Amino acid sequence: MTEKEITEEIRERIKKIKEEFEEEIKKSKSEEDIKRAKSKFLGKKGLIQELFKIIPQIKEEEKRKEIGKLINDLKEYIEEKTKYESESQILILKDEEIPDITLPGRRGFLGSLHPITITLQKIILIFEKMGFEVEHGPEIEDDWHNFTALNIPPDHPARDMQDTFYLEDGRLLRTHTSPVQIRAMLKRKGILPVKIIAPGRVFRRDFDATHSPVFHQVEGLFVDRKVKMSELFGTLDFFFKKFFGEKTKVRFRPSYFPFTEPSAEVDVSCLCEGRDKNCKVCKGSGFLEVAGCGMVHPEVFKSVGYENVQGFAFGMGVERLAMIKFGIKDIRLLFGENFSAFKKRFL
């Protein structure tokens, strides 16, 4: 076969391959069909590669370049065509897959803050406006900070294993946020005044409708040269009226805490105001216990090396305040599986 005949044969084959490719593309109904067509013509053993193998038989350089260009043009054409058809196929949806754009869109759902978070934020905001700084401490404590420095002797019931979670190394999960008082005073090394609140998680071996083994407290401490118990009463009276409403009545009852002397319990008026003897919240008493407080015990000051100072301290349970604020009767609703139902009702 002469060189001219070889050249003409290649031209004819290029024409037929292009026509065959056009037919293959027309018949393609899916992306897979297009991939098979591309492999047939451009694969390692495809028809285009067979054409390239014939080129060395052409001796004349000009003819060889001309035929090489024709084959490369066909190759590029097939590549572009398959790419375009493949992208178009992806965009084509069957009639039943086309969404009905006249239907309303799916509603978006917004999250909400947990009632404990809401309560904590409000507590902190009120006390910060009164000049208290927020202080934090470790949740894993040692015996000295959690008990001894707070004037809790070794035989005190709070040290009982039924109340406290002890760790193998002798440390414990703090049972109250009061250890932060000790750390705050030691950190300031006698620099007065010390005016802090300490919000945080605490841990006790207790679990029922009104108690949880993990709960939150806010501790308060004010230390200066001269501090009166009337200032303590005024501080808490102001706080609870801001928290529950200006009409809230606040009363103080004598009590006992090892780290304060004298000590008092704090009650706030119930929504029923004592008129409903069957009230399940206050049990007809008209008041609810919400906090403990008192003047800092001299032994506590002795533990941290403070002399010639006075101070008051208070502590309140955040869950307790949240339950009163939102009318929750069971503390387990705050962290149980039914919290979504609780949100619909209260938030």
Interacting residues of 304 by C-beta distance below 8 A, sequence separation 6+: 149, 182, 185, 186
Rg (CA), the chain: 41
Q: In the beta sheet, which residues pair with residue 286? A: none
Of 63, 97, 131, the residue at which a domain comes to its end is: 97
- 103 inside domain: no
Q: What is the CATH number of the domain that holds 201?
A: 3.30.930.10
Looking at residue 94, its pLDDT comes to 47
Do residues 138 and 227 share a domain? Answer: yes
Average pLDDT, stretch 13-29? Answer: 79
- 285 inside domain: yes
Identify which has the larger pLDDT, 7 or 259: 259
Do residues 126 and 7 share a domain? Answer: no
- 104 inside domain: no
- Strands 194-203 and 133-134: what pairing? parallel
Do residues 120 and 87 share a domain? Answer: no
Indicate if the pLDDT at residue 140 is higher than 90.
Answer: yes
Do residues 121 and 76 share a domain? Answer: no
Of 97, 127, 154, the residue at which a domain comes to its end is: 97
Do residues 69 and 146 share a domain? Answer: no
Residue with tokens 């109250």: 176
* 146, 232, 297 from 262: Cα distances, Å: 20, 12, 8
pLDDT tens, residue by residue, 173-230 = 999 999 999 999 999 987 899 999 999 999 987 766 556 788 899 999 999 999 999 9
**Rounded Cα–Cα distance for residues 89 and 120 (Å):** 57
Do residues 75 and 181 share a domain? Answer: no
Residue 194 DSSP SS3: strand
Average pLDDT, stretch 319-337? Answer: 78
Q: Provide the sign of the torsion angle of the four alpha carbons 245, 248, 254, 256, taken in this order.
A: negative
How many domains would you assign to the chain?
2
**Rounded Cα–Cα distance for residues 183 and 193 (Å):** 15
- 107 inside domain: no
- 58 inside domain: yes
Do residues 56 and 144 share a domain? Answer: no
3-state helix, strand, coil in the chain (%, to 5): 45, 20, 35
Average pLDDT, the chain: 83
- 142 inside domain: yes
Indicate if the pLDDT at residue 336 is higher than 70.
Answer: no
Do residues 32 and 177 share a domain? Answer: no
**Pairs from 296-299 (Cβ < 8 Å, separation ≥ 24):** 296/181, 296/221, 296/223, 296/259, 296/260, 297/151, 297/258, 297/259, 297/260, 297/261, 298/261, 299/151
* 15, 50, 62, 73 from 8: Cα distances, Å: 11, 16, 14, 17
Domain extent at residue 312 = 115-346
Looking at residue 89, its pLDDT comes to 56
- 106 inside domain: no
- 293, 313 Cβ separation under 8 angstroms: yes
Do residues 197 and 57 share a domain? Answer: no
Average pLDDT, stretch 66-73? Answer: 80
Longest dimension (CA), the chain: 122
Average pLDDT, stretch 282-293? Answer: 84
Indicate if the pLDDT at residue 103 is higher than 60.
Answer: yes
Q: Provide the sign of the torsion angle of the four alpha carbons 337, 290, 257, 315, taken in this order.
A: positive
Of 68, 97, 126, the residue at which a domain comes to its end is: 97
- 139 inside domain: yes
For the beta sheet containing 260-269, the strands, ordered from the edge strand earlier in sequence to the opposite edge, are 133-134, 194-203, 214-224, 310-317, 287-296, 260-269, 250-257
Portion of the chain with pLDDT greater than 90, in percent: 43
Do residues 257 and 178 share a domain? Answer: yes
Query: CB neighbours (10 Å) of residue 298?
Result: 14
- 175, 135 Cβ separation under 8 angstroms: no
| Count of residues making up the chain | 347
Do residues 144 and 277 share a domain? Answer: yes
Interacting residues of 282 by C-beta distance below 8 A, sequence separation 6+: 270, 272, 274, 288
Do residues 8 and 156 share a domain? Answer: no
